Amino acid sequence: MPVEHASGERIAMERRTIEVIPDAERHGTPRSQFTLWFGANMQITAIVDGALSVVFGADALWAIPALLIGNVLGGIVMALHSAQGPRLGVPQMVSSRAQFGVYGAVLPLLLVILMYLGFAATGSVLAGQAVSELLHIENTDVGILLFGALTAVVAVAGYRFIHLAGRIATVAGVLGLGYLLVRLFTQYDVGAHLGIKGFDPATFLLAVGLGAGWQLTFGPYVADYSRYLPRDTSTRATFWSAFAGSVIGSQWAMTLGALTAAVAGDAFLPDQVGFLGRLAGPAVLALLIYLVVVVGKLTVNCLNAYGGFMSILTTVTAFDGRSRVSAAARAAYIVGFTALSVVIALAASADFLAHFKNFVLLILMVFTPWSAINLVDYYLISRERVDIPALYDPAGRYGRWNLTALTCYAVGIAAQIPFLATKLYTGALTEKLGGADISWIVGLAVTAALYGAWARRTTNPPARTIHPAVAGSGDRAGAARVG
């Protein structure tokens, strides 16, 4: 039965999937984007990401501003995607059919699904450790199972409940991570561990890449959580709300991570959850910190499960013309995705998870050219004019395959390879740059330039955005009207 939260909005089980959200069901304000993305970033994986910048050799004094630069640059891309949600009312990857074609959009989708699965599995391990500590359970596998079940329940409940989790995570994150930051300065001589190393361009750029890469991973699903906002919602307000929430939240967590790695060294990375619990001090405060870890990971893992389900459904329906499925099928998709991520988390050794996460980070190279194509087309070429019914019709305006976008996408990926710097592969030009990874910059620049020049000659956007004629209709048989 629907209930109301403090703002007066009804909280009910979501029934929509990848179809267009009707105007009658639009609700909320851009403020919801701030709390969702702030809460999703105030979590332990972001702390670890910040710590890696120091582990890889940067001094925390330089790593922190470098992470900020990366978060700001990546956050701009992320927030530009978010601003598309209210205008179109469709999931992010469905909107990319306007660039790649209905079938062509499946290619990046497959890698998006793999990314969600990887981050959900590794996140379940960390959250499972926190659940086990919280409940005094020796077997971490039990904690992983419990956390997986909780993730599935919230993700199945859907949009409103995920936003509610974001609001709770915002409060918990501010209190928990704020307390840990204070404890860090009272328990360690932080100043003595800053400025020990001089400025190093390679490690500085690496830290920038860690921040930017973190933000870019949100691109394929960020509009999924703004598509319920009213169509007349200010694009600027949506942009700044998502940008501020994501950048401030991630920078706060990453700063804590960089400082923790600087003062604690090897004591942090092998047992991140346990170290934060010990840093908290007395047992009751440690338990509260474990709860903060669980709440933060729950928010972002629900995003992964929900985004994974939406991406799988977008892939499947590209070939059968549907834009919606039954509530039972929707739940089955989400539970199945979550169960698979839990199985990976349970079955994988620590070494496997490390390698798997490295692989997931490597495939981030496929998202920078995708973002470049989507944003250049939407804002500069189509100028926010989209034939929404055609997004569900392989025989419509956008067709099955868009060779222009697919070719630019392939070139954008290939252009990054010589500049990669990962454990799995190091590019030929990386050593000449002192080991700095600038692949994401190359990917964005090359793809944007090539697609911008080519697509202007081949793209045929509508004169104005075309909306479905029947409210809620995204099916290819539905009529359309010009709006």
- Provide the pLDDT for residue 471: 42
Q: Virtual CA dihedral for 421, 442, 240, 168, nearest 10 degrees?
A: -20
Report whether 131 contacts 294 (CB < 8 A).
yes
Taking the CB of residue 190, how many other CB atoms lie within 10 A of it?
16
Report whether 462 contacts 444 (CB < 8 A).
no
- Provide the pLDDT for residue 64: 96
Q: Give the global pTM.
A: 0.89
Would you state the structure tokens that stand for residue 293, as one six-digit string? 């870890």
The stretches in the chain having pLDDT less than 70 are 1-12, 349-361, 424, 470-483
Under DSSP, is residue 10 helix (H, G, I), strand (E, B) or coil?
strand
Whole-number Å distance between alpha carbons of 363 and 359: 6
The DSSP bridge pattern shows strands 480-482 and 10-11 to be unpaired
Q: What residues contact residue 261 under an 8 Å CB cut-off, 6+ apart?
A: 50, 51, 52, 53, 54, 55, 60, 268, 269
Helix (H) / strand (E) element for 151: namely: helix 140-157
The DSSP bridge pattern shows strands 480-482 and 3-4 to be unpaired
Residue in this structure with the two tokens 């989708």, named with its chain if needed: 109
Q: Which domains does the chain have, with CATH numbers?
A: 3-368 (1.10.4160.10)
Whole-number Å distance between alpha carbons of 359 and 336: 22
CA contacts within 13 A on the Cβ side of 426 = 8
Would you state the structure tokens that stand for residue 173, as one six-digit string? 């994150």
Report whether 295 contacts 147 (CB < 8 A).
no
